Structure 1
Amino acid sequence: MTQARPRKTVFGLLPWPERQAVAEALRTETVGGLVLLAAAVVALAWANSPWSGAYEAVRDFHFGIPALGLDLSVGHWTADGLLAVFFLVAGIELKRELVVGELRTPATAALPAVAALCGMAVPAALYVLTAKAGGGSPDGWAVPMATDIAFALAVLAVISTHLPTALRAFLLTLAVVDDLGAILIIAIFFTSDLNFWALAGAVAGLVLFYALQRFRIRGWWWYVPLGITVWALMYNSGVHATVAGVAMGLILRTTRDKNEKASPGARVAHLIHPFSAGVAVPLFALFAAGVSVSGEALGHVFTDPEPLAVLIGLVVGKILGIFFGTYLAARFTRAELNPDLAWADVLGLATLAGIGFTVALLIGELAFPDPTQAEHVKAAVLIGSLTAAALAALLLRRRNRIYRQLYEAENRDDDGDGIPDCYQTGTGARPGGSR
């Protein structure tokens, strides 16, 4: 008789190298998320203070090199320039996931990929249905699709939960796939008036970038000027400049040669991830989140079809999409949920993913050129993200005792060798605990 194949465990113990990589990425994102929260608070306070005129003056101040088509406002420099660094890091992380992470094989990629795709499709569908029912425009369908991993991790830090590493890694993978979806949407749906010569130059620069990687050419003096040139050409082509960042991130090699301590992708991510999380994204938030929070402005969120559709997409769409996507993927692949966890934990994670702050604000600016309408949509993003954060805090805090037990078991190291006992055969128990 043929023995049945053992069923895969969902949210089980991560392999040790994967856990180390995830822990490093999440540590930086958590610190950056706290800075992001502070920047958002400052933006809201500043924009709604007696000095709001100064806020608008700084945000709208132009500088650059007009001859190169780069005379931008401070707000646009943060959205088109600094966020390119954010998407460069996202591209490297996506490449790592595809090569050595959760997305490297169909078996391991199925669950996070299906959950992420459902978590994008359902909010977009709910947006379109809500907007059309209210007689509004469906143009903002992409606004509620993305998850802000930094903001989500900052919420976890603030509520002091001990969420297991596997759940945090799943949240990170969801955000990575979301970022890829967002950049594809930006490239395809928010590109107009193409300059084919500039686009050809950007593509040629990316080919050269690939060749330098392929032939193992080292030295920042090659890559930094080339990267800036590719970014400038991409901006002038009419394609959103952040596409250049994610493209270069995907090109960077994430596997190391025998004579290397770390791959080029890992080295670049290690160098610029703190800048991306602690400077680039918070500065973007500072000049994108400064919206009016007067009673009249907030009223538009619940009465205008587009802002209301964004709010429903983020809070309801993300929960339904990710939770049922995860459930169906687990059932389809005949996987079993980690016995130490419950589907309530997945629900809390799905609710946390409704925080769509950074990319949602960016797409909101692109989808709604009218400043007044864009302000209302931004207010909806803020309210939706805060609502999702509050609901997730309630759901996850209820289970924090279980998470603490799992966290302590995952990190127990009685022999003091730096590797938790659960990763060493015959020493210690695997993380576990009673529900």
Structure 2
Amino acid sequence: MSAPDSRRSIFLGRMPLPERNFIADALRAETVGGVLLLVAAVVALAWANTLSGSYEAIRDFHLGPAALGLDLSIQHWAANGLLAVFFFVAGIELKRELVAGELRDPKAAALPVIAAICGMATPALVYAAVNAIGGGSMRGWAVPTATDIAFALAVLAVIGTSLPSALRAFLLTLAVVDDLFAILIIAVFFTSTINFLALGFAVVGLAIFYLLLRKGVRGWYVYVPLALVIWGLMENSGVHATIAGVAMGLMLRCTRRDGEQQSPGEHIEHLVRPLSAGLAVPLFALFSAGVSISGGAVHEVFTRPETLGVVLGLVVGKALGIFGGTWATARFTKAELNPDLKWPDVFAVASLAGIGFTVSLLIGELAFADDLVLADEIKASVLIGSLLAAVVACVLLKLRNNKYRKLCEEEERDEDHDGIPDIYELDKPEYHLRMAAILEAKAAEHRRLAEVASGTHTGDDGPA
């Protein structure tokens, strides 16, 4: 293969070492959370299909102070309360990507952003086309637009497939941009009536939150109660309460100052991510993924336009949208694909992004809140569509697994044991001096062993 033109940018090339390390740590946490999410979904399905009475009784049980407008069902607390923690982390991720990650450079950000937009628009168009032909409801157009990064990484962990860091970073960036547009969709399209007084007080609370951060005030006992008040006001305003989590996440500083090993945003994300991935999202899945799955229900998913639109949107729309947007953008910006990778690798990751789960379930609940039967069928279609997307992606990724394993080993190799992968030191003279010394020491050891084996080795006391 000819060498890439030095004037052309490299798509899916090597990331700077600090960015690579940060993403690796974040994705490890997401993988663990994804496995818990997968377990929670299986438990919810088993519970709902064996002891449906107890599942529905607990899911629909109400608690909370009615005087504050917070007498909510367990399912509502999970969707609006616990997912606010998830979106708080998403807000921090987005802020970090904008100021220190892949999205800080508009030229570099163009490709993943356009790919993510196409990966949301195409599933919506697929859903709309299916329902226009079949005479279904257009209310669910946003359901297949989301990507669940945790679930996708859990699938990779379960099947034992390793992705090179560039592909994982691309998947993470897609998911971050997905989350941003999902937030906008929820705020714009699923807000019916607004209580402007509650919304106004929520905005005041956010302003206080921002000023305290700028003044350098510290202490969880200040921010946690304030965050709860802001969340409660947002819940009563009619705007989806998860928006409060995103807004507070975006306010955190995610750039490092002199002497800082972590920015405040990175530090808080490190503390809160386990709560989000290990508790909030799995509990949401437990009380949202419990739908009746029978032969008739599966048949309904593939015959009803609303549910078929969701399945095709996730499986077909996501893959074609992300791949098509990526290829077209690279083509017109003359970006050169990393020579270690092929375009089928990009299509495999695009297929993996068809796992919608968490946010798709949330949007499905919001879109069909007045039709509980159809809402459950939409949930079933999200589960089936995500499963099919996972199967397709796994088959495509397994075909290249040997190549991925070699790339990952190359990325991790540290022959001089200095804690920095060798691939990041190839252009440093001191690295080559260290490697020459290591190779010389190994060669001397091999010579000594050969002499010992042949009986010609001479030590301090004469022949061996």
CA distance in 2, matches of 1:105, 1:139: 36
Question: For residue 214 of structure 2, what is the amino acid of its counterpart?
Answer: R
Residues 348-387 of structure 1: matches in 2 within 5 Å? 348-369=348-369, 370-387=371-388
Counterpart in the other structure of 2:406: 405
Equivalent-residue separation in structure 2 for 1:182 and 1:362 (angstroms): 10
Structure 1 distance, partners of 2:263, 2:201, is 27
Letter in 1 for 2:191: T
Change (3 A) 1:179 1:406: same
The Cα shift of 1:261 comes to 3.5
Q: Please give the alpha-carbon distance, in whole angstroms, between the structure 2 residues aligned to 1:327 and 1:213.
A: 41
CA distance in 1, matches of 2:262, 2:327: 37
- Partner amino acid, structure 1, of 2:250: L
**Which has the higher mean CA deviation after the structures are superposed, 214-223 or 393-402?**
214-223
Indicate yes or no: 2:354 matched with 1:346. Answer: no
Matching residue of 2:42: 41
Instruction: Find the counterpart in structure 2 of residue 21 from structure 1.
Output: 22
Task: Give runs of aligned pairs for residues 317-336 of structure 1, distance below 5 A.
Answer: 317-336=317-336
Report what 1:271 is aligned to: 271
- SS of equivalent residue, structure 1 residue 27: helix
Q: Give SS of 1:70's match.
A: coil
> What one-letter code is carried by the residue in structure 2 that aligns with 1:17?
P
Cα distance in 1 between the residues matched to 2:419 and 2:111: 31
Show structure 1 runs of 5+ residues with no match.
429-435
Q: Which residue matches 2:456?
A: none
| 1:32 aligned onto 2:33 | yes
| Aligned AA (2:381) | A
Give the structure 2 partner of residue 255 of structure 1. Answer: 255
Displacement of 1:238 in angstroms is 0.1
Residue type matched to 1:261 in 2? Q
Instruction: Name the structure 2 match of 1:432.
Output: none
Distance 2:380 2:133 in 1: 21
Partner residue, 2:100? 100
List aligned pairs for 1:53-72, cutoff 5 A.
53-72=53-72
Q: Which runs of 4+ in 1 moved over 3 A?
A: none
Partner letter of residue 175 of structure 1?
A
Aligned partners of 2:322 and 2:21: how far apart in 1? 25
Paired position in structure 2 for 1:212 = 212
Structure 2 residue runs of 5 or longer lacking an equivalent are 433-464
Q: Render the CA deviation track for 1:36-82: whole Å, top value 9, x for unaligned.
A: 00000000001000x21001111011101111000111101000000
Q: Which position in structure 1 is the counterpart of 2:243? A: 243
The residue that corresponds to 2:311 in the other structure is 311
Q: Distance in 2 between matches of 1:166 and 1:290?
A: 35
Is residue 395 from structure 1 mapped to residue 432 from structure 2 by the alignment?
no
- How many correspondences in the alignment? 424
Once the two structures are superposed, the pairs formed by residues 198-209 of structure 1 within 5 Å of their partners are 198-209=198-209
Aligned to 1:159: 159
Distance in 2 (CA, whole Å) between partners of 1:216 and 1:415 is 42
Distance 1:220 1:259, change over 3 A: farther
The superposition leaves residues 94-119 of structure 1 with CA deviations (integer Å, 9 ceiling, x where unpaired) of 00000000000111101100100000
Counterpart secondary structure, 2:64: strand
Q: Helix, strand or coil for the counterpart of 1:303?
A: coil
Equivalence for 2:12: 11
What is the TM-score when the length of structure 1 is the normalising length?
Answer: 0.96
Per-residue deviation, 1:16: 0.3
Shift of 1:324: 0.6
Encode CA deviations 1:353-398: one digit per residue, 9 max, x unaligned.
Answer: 0000000000000001210000111000000000000000000000
Match status 1:145 vs 2:164: no
- Counterpart of 1:431? none
Letter in 1 for 2:338: N
User: Greater Rg, structure 1 or structure 2?
Assistant: 2
Q: Which moved more, 1:296-305 or 1:376-385?
A: 296-305
| Cα drift, residue 258 of structure 1 | 2.8
Separation in 2 of the partners of 1:89 and 1:297? 35
| Cα offset, 1:297, TM superposition | 1.4
